[in-house]
Amino acid sequence: MTTENIRTYDVIVIGAGPVGENVADRTTAAGLSTVIVESELAGGECSYWACEPSKALLRPALLRADAMHVPGLAPSLKGPLDVEAVLAHRNRMSADWNDDGQVEWIKSAGIDLLRGHGRLTAEREVSVETSDGDTVHLRARHAVAVCTGSRAALPPLPGIENLRPWTSREATSAQQPPQRLVIVGAGVVGVEMATAWQALGSRVTLLARDEGLLPRLEPFAGELVTERLREAGVDVRFNISVVGAARVDDGEGEVRVTLSDGSEITGDEILFATGRAPRSDDIGLDTVGLEPGDWLATDDSLTVTAVPGNWLYAVGDVNRRALFTHQGKYQARIAGAVIAGRARGEELVTGRWAPHSSTADVEAVPGVVFTDPEVAFVGLTVREAERTGRAVEVVDYDIGHLAGAVQYRPDYRGRARILVDRDRQVVVGATFVGPGVGELLYSATVAITGEVPVERLWHAVPAFPTISEVWLRLLETRRDS
C-alpha cells in the first residue's frame, strides 16, 4: 500500500554524487536544512564507475611504464601485471560498490538522505518514490538543486540494444579483462580505457572517427598518446566509424563489427566511449516548463535561466558547462554560496572571479588524461583562441630537455605549451604532455585564475631538478623568440 507524507526543508538536492554532496554541505554549513534525494549509490558516478575505479586501473599500468624505463628496475618488471591484484585494488577504491561510508559522511554533516527517485512536481516541490513503494512529497522554502549528472550516450546504431555493449560503467567495473576489446571513441574515456585494459592483457582496437586522438586538445597531445598506445600494442585506427555490429550465437558470442571502410573486426566486448547525455529525462522537468532529457542551461550563479523565481539550480554535468567532477564540485561551492546568500536576503556579488560567479567554467577548466604519457590542460587551446578571436602568443618547449625529466625517466618524451594573451600579458592556456605532468596543472591553473603577469612569473623560482622547471624554460623560450 502506498502512503503519502509531506516534508519541508530549506533546500532540496536531487542527486547524492560529489556535486550534490557539496551543494548540501555548503547549504547545511550556512544553517539551511537540506535533504539529498538519491536513487542509486550515495557518492555517485565518480566514486563507483568513473574517477576512482578508472584511476585505480590506470595507476599500476602507468607506474610500471615509468619503472620499465628506469635503470635498475626494468629487468624485474618484464612479467605481466598481477591482474587479480589490480582488480582487487580497483574494487577497494570503489568501496566494493557499497555506499555505507558515504552515507555515514552525509549523516555526520547534518544532511538528511532520502533514497528514491526524485521528480519535480511544481515550483519548489519534489516527489520521491522510495524503494519500498512509498511516495514522499518534499517542499523547499528556498531552493531545489538538480545534481543528477550525466550518463554515457550511445550512438544510433541499428541493433545496439542487442549488443550488450560496454559503456564507461562496464569498462571501469568489469571483473576480468576481455581477450579482445573494441573501443569506439577517441576522447578521454576511450584512450584511458585502452591504456588500462591493454596493460591488463586485452588486445585492444581503438577506433577514432577523426584524424587524431583527444580532438578537443592541442594536436600534439593526441599524437604523443597515439605513439605510446601503438608501442604498447593497441591497434589505433583513424578516420573510421562503426556502421554495423552484432553478437553471434544468439547474442551470447563475440561481437562482429563492420567498419566504414568495409572491413570487419571481432571482439569479445565493445566499448562505446562516444560522449555523455544529461540524466534529466525522468526528473519532472516538464512540470516547470522545461524539456525532459535536455541539458539545463544556467547563468554563472548556476541558476536555471529558463525558470523564473531564482529557485531552481543545475549544478555539475547536467548543466553541460564543464563535465568534470572537480569542476562540478567547484560549481557546488558557488551554488551553495548563492543559495545561502539569497536565503538571507543578501545581494549577490557577481562578475568575473566574484564569490557568486563560476568564472572558472569558461576561463580555466583544468583536466588530466591519465594515459602514458599523461596530458594536463587548463584554459584555452590554440584552436579555441582562434575561434574566439583572442590574440595569443604560443610558446612551446620539449620537456625531455629538462634535467628533472631525465631523472624521472631517461627516455622522457613530452611537450609543454602556454598561451599568453598579447594585450594583457597573462597566461590564458597551458597544456603539458609527458609522464607525471598532472602535478604541474595546479600551478598553471593558479597562473591563469590569478591573472599573474608574465613578468612576475620570472620571480617564481622552480626547484632543480624537477619537471616544474619547464616554467622557467617556457619563459626563456618566449624571451629568446
Q: Is the pLDDT of residue 174 over 50?
A: yes
**Cis-peptide, bond into residue 80, ω within 30° of zero:** no
- Tell me whether residue 72 is exposed, middle or buried, using C-beta atoms within 10 angstroms of its C-beta: 0 to 12, 13 to 18, 19 or more: exposed
Which residues have C-beta within 8 Å of that of residue 444, sequence separation ≥ 6? 366, 376, 378, 379, 418, 427, 430, 432
| Rounded average pLDDT over 169-174 | 98
Q: Which residue has the cell 550515495?
A: 42
pTM (two decimals): 0.95
List the end-to-end C-alpha distance of the chain, in Å, as a whole number.
77
Q: Is the pLDDT of residue 3 over 60?
A: no
User: Three cell numbers at 7?
Assistant: 516534508
| Rounded average pLDDT over 247-270 | 93
Instruction: List, for residues 436-478, the tens digit of each pLDDT value.
Output: 999 999 999 999 999 999 999 999 999 999 999 999 999 999 9
- Could you tell me where the beta strands, DSSP code E, fall in 89-134? 112-115, 117-122, 125-129
pLDDT of residue 5: 74
Supply the DSSP symbol for 426: B
Q: Which of 421, 437, 427, 422 is nearest to 470 (CA)?
A: 437
Burial annotation 225-254 (CB, 10 A radius, 16+ → b, else e)? bbebbeebebebbeeeebeebbbeeeeeeb
pLDDT of residue 76: 76
Local confidence band at 4 (pLDDT 50, 70, 90 cut-offs): low
DSSP 241-277: -EEEEEEHHHHTS-EEEEETTS-EEEESEEEE---EE
| Rounded average pLDDT over 7-32 | 98
pLDDT of residue 131: 84
Q: Is the pLDDT of residue 225 over 90?
A: yes
Mean pLDDT of the chain: 96
Q: Is the distance from CB of 315 to CB of 304 less than 8 angstroms? A: no
Q: Is the distance from CB of 131 to CB of 231 less than 8 angstroms? A: no
| Rounded average pLDDT over 260-279 | 97
| Rounded average pLDDT over 304-320 | 98
- Could you tell me where the beta strands, DSSP code E, fall in 30-99? 34-38
Local confidence band at 79 (pLDDT 50, 70, 90 cut-offs): confident
pLDDT of residue 153: 96
Q: Is the pLDDT of residue 204 over 70?
A: yes
- Tell me whether residue 154 is exposed, middle or buried, using C-beta atoms within 10 angstroms of its C-beta: 0 to 12, 13 to 18, 19 or more: middle
| Rounded average pLDDT over 65-93 | 91
Local confidence band at 48 (pLDDT 50, 70, 90 cut-offs): very high
Instruction: List, for residues 362-377, the tens digit of each pLDDT value.
Output: 999 999 999 999 999 9
**Cis-peptide, bond into residue 366, ω within 30° of zero:** no
